[in-house]
Amino acid sequence: MVRILVISGNAFDGHEYRNIPLALELKARGHVVRHAGPSPLFTSTGFVDSTFDWEFANEPGPKDGNTVLFSTWRELYRLILWSDIVVFGQNKAYKGAGAFAHASGRVLVQHQDIGGLDYWYYSPLLLGVRSPWGAEGLAALKVASMYPPVATGSVQFDRAARTDDLLSKEEFCRKYGLNPEKKIAVYFTASPANHSEGYKDTYRKIIQALEEQADFQAMIKT
């Protein structure tokens, strides 16, 4: 029986639940699992851009994943000492926690739960990325890991995956009021955490530019 700590370095608006499916899956496989994230009190360090509400830990999914919110570094380090394996997501600011886990003899695993490819500072035993493309990108960056990055998929993408049959183009256009004779450009916006006024102004201009093309029509996928 292995004790596994899954850490979400911040809440990240729109992706607060991103690591809950991972915690539940590990628990279902017979491991003792805790999911941890920063509480609203974990703000004095100045780097956490979003924290979890206290109510989050008592919601059905997070509660089933044994979510614990930490308010101090000492509380987080106690959780690390409890564990055999520490699973980090992507957050630059927990480098000290990663070093503590190493010094304490814990096994470190890191995976791509949010963002790009520039947050790999923990020298983990294993690296999990979303796709073979992600693995190639990390190889190009010469990220330190005992083994090559493993393409594991993405719980974020799994939640969005269709479980029914895909629509034909005609059905798709009918559903969304599109002209099947025109090309379709789909704009995928970033998560709500990144929706600054400048960002929103930029994607309005992109959509406008697409719609000004006679043979194109545009739609936004949030």
Kindly list the distances between the CA atom of residue 137 and the CA atoms of 91, 105, 121, 126, in Å, as whole numbers in the listed order: 18, 29, 15, 16
What is the predicted pLDDT for the residue at 23? Answer: 96
| 24: confidence class by pLDDT, cuts 50, 70, 90 | very high
3 state DSSP class of 189: coil
Residues 71-125 pLDDT 10s? 999 999 999 999 999 999 888 788 899 999 999 999 999 888 876 655 566 788 8
Tell me the whole-structure pTM to 2 decimals: 0.72
6-20, 51-65, 74-88: the lowest-pLDDT one = 6-20
Strand order through the sheet with 32-38? 67-70, 32-38, 3-7, 85-88, 107-111, 126-129, 150-151
What are the tokens at 156? 């974020």
Distance CA 48, CA 22 (A): 22
Q: What is the mean pLDDT of the chain?
A: 85
Closest CA to 39 of 71, 7, 77, 73: 71
